[in-house]
Amino acid sequence: MASSCTMAGTGWIGGKISQKEMVQHWHCYPGGATSMEVFQNHRDVALRDVVWCRGGDGLGLCVVILEVFSNFNDLTSRAGRSATADHRFFLSLEISEKYGPVFTVHLGMQQAVVLSGYEAVKDALLNTADVFADRPAIPIFHHIQHGNGVFFSSQELWKTTRRFTLAVMRDLGMGKRLAEERMLEELQFLIELIKSFQGGPFRLRLLNTAPTNITFAILFGRRFDYEDPTFVTLLRLIDEVMLLLGSPFLHLFNFYPFLGFLLKPHKMILKKVEEVCVILKKHIQESKANINGNSLMSYIDALVFKQEEDDKSNTLFDDANVLASALDLLMAGTETTSTTLQWAVLLMMKYPEIQKKVHAEIERVLGPDCLPTFEDRKNMPFTNAVIHEVQRFVTLLPHVPRCTSADTHFKGYFIPKGTTVIPLLSSVLLDKTQWETPDEFNPNHFLDADGNFVKKKAFLPFSTGRFSQLCQGLKPNATWHCEDLRQRVRS
């Protein structure tokens, strides 16, 4: 790894580094989707000492964080919007523009290679996907999952669990008419909930109930009433965990896990996750008691059936992996969609002229009474463009850490096996070479000159790779009409 670094205070060897080039924002590290409250209550990190050096081993620019003190609040950006899209990560785009798309950063005692820009991220995650497929051992997630589950496992366990999960999602209706029916059913409950306020104000997070319930229906095999104690408890715990994942002291724990006995956030996270696991274990036990291989109604049912079907003396689906996989779907399958919905509403409020165009297009295509279908997207290019632009603009998931599974040469640099690699998705979604106005909310990014929808290759809001491509390939094929949909929902 980096041969040596010369202490230079807040400067770098051969010149002076400006404050603008310093670490901008690192509250999302590592890999956790943060909630709206986190966005609104964090301030950029202030660095006491930074050491810059030229990596003698070919790993590019080396940044060593010696002492970090954080003071969060008041995020701003050069475009006048919330800085969550620009400063989500600990390195500004200006640094990568100056030093290139591949460089090394020290996170506490760990060294990581950062990939910035569309070309570098694409080459790593698509052209050399097998090498960059593993996950690094991030302390907080290791304590939670112990290397199990869908997202933070690696090697054979990673491949098997994700392949299984994708197959189950297909069987449970992902990309099929069943999924659309479930969404339309939940939409009716959400509409009734909003109507109950009789035109009065309500918290934006109320919108979380619908997408969360759809995930719960897949996970547990049934939807929950919005007042159900289990539903309310899980919603609260998920929100609290996501908030804690944005704590600066949680990241200090990830950088220096041996300081854990002095810090509190990771202990609170583990306690709240254990409360979630108690609920999950209860449902897993109920599934084991009533399992029917001919009628698997949920992801938990499928996990339990797979566990019993395999040889228990040599199975990858032991109790720990079953619980971890269910926990992954519960946590990751709710927050991203919910937060995206909230951002969409806020952006429509900020840009009323865009909101009017979306509303006019929906009225023209659907009319006043017709429920939407996936097929309707073809006739609503502007609305579709706005939805994609929301995800691009807010860069909800700024990065998903990877780990090299073998020694490799990449972009002229040697990267040893087991090196943490951080593809900056935010740098792709804000890449000046791929987007006309990357710092602006501009639906025209996804429209051609004739107003037709165009999906861009650089649209990578949730990473990319073989697994992601397979998921994106599960397109709905529903073609039935609005009247049929209304009858299905009512019945």
- What's the mean pLDDT in 412-418? 92
| CATH class, 150-175+202-340 region | mainly alpha
Residue ranges covered by each domain of the chain: 150-175+202-340
The answer to whether 115 touches 124, Cβ cutoff 8 Å, is: yes
Q: What is the CA radius of gyration of the chain?
A: 23
Binned at pLDDT 50, 70 and 90, residue 312 comes out as: low
The percentage of residues in the chain with a pLDDT greater than 90, rounded to a whole number, is 42
DSSP type of residue 291: -
The answer to whether 427 touches 461, Cβ cutoff 8 Å, is: no
Residue range 161-183, pLDDT digits in tens: 988 998 998 888 776 667 788 88
> Other CB atoms closer than 10 Å to residue 455's CB: what's the count?
11
What pLDDT was estimated at residue 36? 32
User: Which of 64-73, 140-149, 273-282 is predicted least confidently?
Assistant: 64-73
| DSSP alpha helix (H) spans, 207-290 | 209-220, 229-245, 248-255, 265-290
What pLDDT was estimated at residue 28? 29
DSSP type of residue 378: G
> Nearest 5°: phi and psi at 11?
-115, 175
What pLDDT was estimated at residue 222? 92
Q: How far is CA 424 from the centre of its chain?
A: 12
The answer to whether 162 touches 150, Cβ cutoff 8 Å, is: yes
What one-letter code names the amino acid at 269? I
DSSP string, 402-441: EE-SS-EEETTEEE-TT-EEEEBHHHHHT-TTT-SSTTS-
> Which residue, 417, 402, 465, 428, is CA-closest to 31?
402
> Other CB atoms closer than 10 Å to residue 66's CB: what's the count?
13
What pLDDT was estimated at residue 81? 38
What pLDDT was estimated at residue 93? 67
Binned at pLDDT 50, 70 and 90, residue 310 comes out as: confident
437: CB partners within 8 A, 6+ apart: 445
Locate 286 and state its tokens.
């109920």
> Which residue, 69, 60, 136, 123, is CA-closest to 96?
60
Largest Cα–Cα separation, the chain: 73
The answer to whether 231 touches 213, Cβ cutoff 8 Å, is: yes
Q: Which residues on neighbouring strands pair with residue 45, listed in sequence order?
A: 70
Ramachandran area for residue 160 (φ above 0: left; ψ -120 to 50: alpha; else beta): alpha
The percentage of residues in the chain with a pLDDT greater than 70, rounded to a whole number, is 74
What pLDDT was estimated at residue 224? 96
Residue range 187-224, pLDDT digits in tens: 999 999 999 999 999 888 888 899 999 999 999 999 99
